[in-house]
A and B are shown apart, each in its own frame.
Chain A
């Protein structure tokens, strides 16, 4: 069962890409591949000040992972204990079926090894009781490591406060 979720607080995110850099240095990801990415979308002008969304795109670790279902060797698989989807480089044959299957573009090609690799929520850190590098190093604490249900509750509470205070931004 997928236990984890990275909640991104748009009000706190400044689009600085520290998440990407902490991910890359932690996992020694070669140039050309990124386990996570910030995609700026905007600016858009619905009010007097143009706003922008910085959409955080790690792997979402689907409950029904398209990548794992497409994998012919079982290299891509969901960890039973917590639902982290990770690839075993020893079993991967570099067929790229997972890249084709993933609707989010999360699976990355490692040009140095001819295998795929991807965000595994820094599972070695998770196993030590730590949080993923992107969350830990985030400049403004915009990323939060939480369970999906806790995150949606937090978001709902914040939205409620905004409604109560009549604030729209």
Chain B
């Protein structure tokens, strides 16, 4: 019997976009087990999706080879192709589009996150300004809000739960919509005595652990914050020293906040005024070690932007920026005394052209780092501001994540070229002209990841096993396309090792430094800036601007009057969606093991409302809006606000080759007709969707 060949490979997970550090046990060239990286996590903790990466890699229902469409778009008739055929096909069509309409007629969208440099470099090297990502359906409003008020993004700050005394979560289901380190850190914090308030429209596993659970009327979280601010200012509970040093616009806030009393908020939200006052006092006692969770998926209502701003206003009033137990600034290479990791994009000439989505022109206060994916169908259909004819869609599925896939498809169907680069058959890939199958994260090495944070580090996603099927790593796919399009010089490598060595060239860090633990700490100590003089708010004034110049300069009010979210018309409900620990929305539904635990979503309904409609748990119901109907099983509960119904996002897959997930449960985004809009925060108002529910059996 031959001896078992065992190997440990440290890498970075890609089952969702949290990117947890992992330790892969490899046996005889196969993945034996995936754990959390103990050198970074303190143990081999890893969430269920991370563990299920092994069966994902083994799945025959992945894309197995390059595919070129033969039938109509979305019909599912494909020709399996060689890489040369598929790459030539894509390059030839891109060349034709560029020749006829200019390079800006090519757009590239991805899922966002830490590994976007290559995509950004590629589209910029083509001469197009049109990079965008998924955040219009996710976190645009919170990123853009923090940007205007403090010159930061949601993810240029980190929560210091380890030292936190008091946290408020607004609909952030931190113990079900999980990242391993964050969920464990949150539980550690609770064990250490942190108290937390969970504000939500429904009870969930996070609410189950809360010290207070406040069932709120959907969409009115902003009103709670306004009443908190009102009480904090009225009773002078704020950190005067911090506010005087770092805040501008306090007088305007004081004037604005007068009408928004706790009594007012009680009528608006359903949360008792005395409860809001009590929380304000508890916050003041715990400050500055308090966290107002910024939110994760924040594409809520049209007014979500102002709600997110209020989170940062409260954070500033409590003096929680860069305070122990508060919101700590993320630091990069420079702050740790290192030369930066090289990016491909930096060496590509800048493109100074108008964008397709209006960012920088119509929407001057919104960031081009995320763009507005919801504008793509409009741009394609109207040649506004110019023709868009080709869309490179990398690891991104707007037909699943954005509202109104039919409207989105109408736009995509007018393209000359839609190419999907993905490990999965996404809905968008299924509608594409060409699918280029990327190999899974277990089968590829990716460029170095700069993990900014209070303790910055470099991480590396490393290949553990050989690619299964005819799939290829991203670095190879983009290099091949670049060569064919005459921009190969911006991709100065032939192997991923050469690329990584080039990236690390100035840092003094070597590729082999990652071998032992999978990461390289930059300095290794927590870097804290001086709260008296060293905080870096990247606003024009260098302060937290309650009255934001970025808004005022562009004709947008910093403090418009509160707008009450619409109550659902009689017989209708606001449709809200969310996540659970075993799924990454649509992308994991076909995973054999994850699908075994949860293969369908259900519709959560308030017991009283369900009673009016004669609906009980287990009944099959039709959920309808704007002429679209989905069918799903009802889950009746006492712990759901009567104005809303809830379902897990991403189900009801329509790709027949994903046999386990095909047509299981309801596809929520099809009901969200007409919501491909740009709200003031750059988000789609995804929760402004009202549905009727009818029992059918």
Contacts and interface: CB of A to CB of B under 8 A. Distances in A.
Interface of A: 11-12, 14-18, 20-22, 24-26, 31-32, 42-43, 48-52, 133, 136-142
Interface string B435-453: 0000000000000000000
Given A24-B593, A139-B47, A43 B36 contact: no
Contacts of A43: 203, 208, 639
A18 B33 CA distance: 13
B685 to A, nearest CB: 30
B44 to A, nearest CB: 5
Contacts of A15: 176, 205, 581
A20 B44 contact: no
Contacts of A11: 187, 190-191, 209
A37 B44 CA distance: 20
Interface stretch (B49-57, B91-99, B613-621): B49-57
B623 to A, nearest CB: 24
Contacts of A32: 596
7 contacts: A16-B183, A17-B581, A25-B51, A43-B639, A49-B212, A50-B639, A139-B48
Contacts of A52: 205, 208
Given A18-B46, A21-B51, A139 B178 contact: yes
A137 B191 contact: no
Contact of A48 (B33, B212, B594): B212
B1 interface: no
Contacts of B210: 49
A139 B184 contact: yes
Q: Report, nearest first, the 3 A-B pairs whose CB atoms are least far apart.
A: A16-B581, A21-B51, A21-B48
A133 B52 CA distance: 13
B178 A25 contact: no
Contact of A14 (B175, B191, B594): B175
Given A22-B51, A25-B593, A137-B45, A49 B213 contact: yes
**Contact residue range for chain B?**
35 or more
A137 B203 contact: no
Interface string B78-92: 000000000000000
B597 interface: yes
A50 B44 contact: no
A21 B116 CA distance: 30
A101 B148 CA distance: 66
Contacts of A31: 592-593, 596
B337 interface: no
B43 interface: yes
A90 B36 CA distance: 34
B203 A50 contact: yes
A18 B213 contact: no
B35 interface: yes
A16 B190 CA distance: 17
Nearest to B185: A140
A138 to B, nearest CB: 6
B46 A25 contact: no
A24 B592 CA distance: 11
Contacts of A17: 48, 581-582, 597
B208 A141 contact: no
A25 B58 CA distance: 11
A136 B175 CA distance: 19
Interface in B113-141: none
Given A17-B582, A49-B210, A49-B212, A141 B593 contact: no
A21 B582 CA distance: 9
Contacts of B33: 22, 25-26, 133
Contacts of A137: 35-36, 44-46, 51
B207 interface: yes
Q: Which of B51, B178, B183 is the most central at the interface, judged by chain A CB atoms within 10 Å of its CB?
A: B51
Contact of A140 (B52, B184, B593): B184
Nearest to A133: B33
Contacts of B44: 136-137
Contact of A139 (B46, B52, B190, B209): B46
A151 B250 CA distance: 54
Nearest to B55: A25
B372 interface: no
B48 A18 contact: yes
A24 B58 CA distance: 14
Interface string B530-549: 00000000000000000000
B581 A14 contact: yes
A17 B175 CA distance: 12
Contacts of A139: 45-48, 178, 180, 183-184, 581
B34 interface: yes
A34 B184 CA distance: 24
A14 B183 contact: yes
Contact of A25 (B52, B211, B582, B639): B52
B47 A18 contact: yes
Contacts of A12: 187, 191
Q: Which of A18, A52, A139, A140 is the most central at the interface, judged by chain B CB atoms within 10 Å of its CB?
A: A139
Q: Which of B175, B178, B190, B208 is the most central at the interface, judged by chain A CB atoms within 10 Å of its CB?
A: B208
